[in-house]
Amino acid sequence: MSQLSVLLPLTGLFFLISATFGSESTPYPVTCVTRGADLEKDGMVVLCPTDCSQWRVSVFGTKIYASVSSVCGAAIHNGVLGQSGGTVRVLRLQGRHNYMSSYAHGIQSQALSRWTASFSLTKPVDVPLELTSEITATILPAAAQPAAKKPLKKPSVKKALTGGNKDCPMDIAMVIDSSNNIGQRRFNLQKNFVTKLAAMLRVGSTGPHIGLIQASGSPRTEFLLSNYTQPKELLFAIKELAYLGGDTNTGKAIMHTAETFFSQDNGGRRGHPRVMMVLVDGWPSDDLEQAAMLARESGINVFLVSVAKPAADELAMVRDKDFMKKAVCKDNGFFSYLIPSWFSTTKHVKPLAQKLCSLDNLLCSKTCYNSVNIGFLIDGSSSVGEGNFQLVLDFLAGIARSFEISDVGARIGAVQFTYDQRLEFSLFDHSNKEDSINALKRIPYMSGGTATGAAISYTTQNLFRRTGPGRNFLIVITDGQSYDDVRDPAMAAQKEGITMYSVGVAWAPVDDLRSMSSEPKDSHTFFTREFTGLAEFIPLLVRGVCRDFTENN
């Protein structure tokens, strides 16, 4: 039984209230950052405050959470609690391998390869989680931890099926034509088509989220991405849309959507591809080029669906005959779609849905996962040793696995250093994740001295020479004192637009690590006494790269 003393302000006076918490009937008050490991007993009922998702809470896992996770953050992620806080029961479980990451209810949980203890929360919510990977965790051997006090329930297949199309985890803005040009009758046919398309896409927490904007004289947002995440509600909302009339100002509607629609405040999900499908009956009456440029620069994949394209005798009335080429994300034919008439749209529902969900072809979605260049600067000095060197490579491979490495996506490269430097492979040597990770794991151990400063200069000049600013990251890992200065080379690298993280092991001086790191130092500097502790840094480094990328772009 735990005691809690609280000072409460009341009209200038403070009252000291002492109470007993943690029993079956009385919840134990915690903060947003209280971890599962901080709780003294199994099965405690805790009271979470409001707005914990506004904090930078750390959550590791999905449904089963590593004990280092924030209890309240995990409860929001799991759907047990909302933003208003409340009570939740926390059940202790044994440690596990492979805590899986997922995004749910405004909280991004992180992956973790192993932790010594876990916890689960009271009954799952009705709305399934927004998973980015399978909900599984491998239990540690019995010798490592005592058996869990309560067995885990198998996830409900019925509930899993209600989560939407998990192969289409997109945020989709549908911009429909509500101008005088389309008229009431064709507007109703358009609504029927959009309803069928939305049904085919299968919205849900693990699948696409859909919002809708009407284009007329002035654009009007009808509903946001987060307003309807259940199919029946969404389809009803589409059927209830009212015809507006006015000019076909498609450019205005694209600009309006690109500027604010995908923000997190409006329901945009971090890390999810952004898609804008624009329906045009005939042709637009305003300019699309500037609006489409803003959309591309914002990482939005614009699809333009033209219905009843202008006939030869109508082309003289079209303001810009190349409006389709200028509007789309990329003029390669993939992002344009032609439908001859509103009376023949049914057969186009499935192929258009497939296009909107083609993750590999969405060239304009630029997120931290597919748009960064990450260099690994690896200490190969004699003090590391062959066995620890392999642990370092496993650690770096774990970081690389979190990113979408491809010829149009993220890139990784590696340099090993002692007194000398060796470019193991460049950012452009391998164009897929499997080849990149295999190349990383095959790096042979050099052995020698430690000249970290010279290695930073070498990497700046040789690894990042063909890349742009705002997306370059260098992760330095070392186990000891450098024989040369690290401060000036690190500052020079940062002036070139390279964000630096330093990871120290064993005898690495913390002052040197901080000298190499970008600001703020605390969130860019990591240290562990043992090489086996490196794996715990993987989710923190991935999250840090994503945070920096978002802030800089």
**Residue 520, preceding peptide bond in cis (omega within 30° of 0):** yes
The pLDDT value given to residue 164? 81
Burial of 317 (0-12, 13-18, 19+ CB in 10 A): exposed
Q: Which helix (H) or strand (E) holds 78?
A: helix 71-78
The DSSP bridge partners found for residue 512 are none
Summarize pLDDT for 125-143 with one digit per residue, the tens: 433 333 333 333 444 444 3
Q: Where are the domains of the chain?
A: 28-122, 171-361, 372-552
pLDDT in tens, the chain (553 residues): 334 333 333 333 333 323 333 334 578 888 887 888 888 888 889 888 888 877 767 888 888 998 888 899 999 998 888 878 889 999 999 888 878 888 888 888 888 777 778 999 975 443 333 333 333 344 444 434 444 433 333 333 233 334 688 889 899 999 999 998 889 999 999 999 999 999 999 998 888 999 999 999 999 999 999 888 888 889 999 999 999 998 888 999 999 999 889 988 888 886 688 999 999 887 787 888 888 888 887 789 999 998 877 666 655 666 666 778 888 888 888 999 999 998 989 999 999 999 999 887 887 776 677 789 999 999 999 999 999 999 999 999 999 998 888 776 789 999 999 999 999 999 989 988 899 999 999 999 999 999 999 999 999 999 987 655 558 999 999 999 999 999 999 999 999 999 999 999 999 999 999 999 999 999 999 999 999 999 999 999 998 998 888 777 6
How far from chain centre, in Å, is Cα 16? 44
Fold adopted by 372-552? Rossmann fold (3.40.50)
Burial of 497 (0-12, 13-18, 19+ CB in 10 A): middle
Are residues 269 and 168 in contact, defined by beta-carbon separation less than 8 angstroms? no
Distance spanning both ends of the chain, measured CA to CA: 49
CB neighbour list of residue 545: distance below 8 Å, 6 or more residues apart: 368, 372, 374, 473, 499, 501
**171-361: same fold as 28-122?**
no
Are residues 127 and 229 in contact, defined by beta-carbon separation less than 8 angstroms? yes
pTM for the structure as a whole: 0.45
CATH 3.20.20.70 fits 28-122, yes or no: no
Summarize pLDDT for 254-289 with one digit per residue, the tens: 999 998 899 888 888 866 889 999 998 877 878 888
Architecture of domain 171-361 in CATH? 3-Layer(aba) Sandwich (3.40)
Please give the Cα distance from 198 to 393 (Å, whole number).
45
Convert 9-65 into a string of H (helix), E (strand) and C (coil).
EECCEEEEEEEEECCCCCCEECCCCCEHHHCCCCCEEEEECCCHHHCCCCCEEECEE
Summarize pLDDT for 391-429 with one digit per residue, the tens: 999 999 999 998 888 776 789 999 999 999 999 999 989
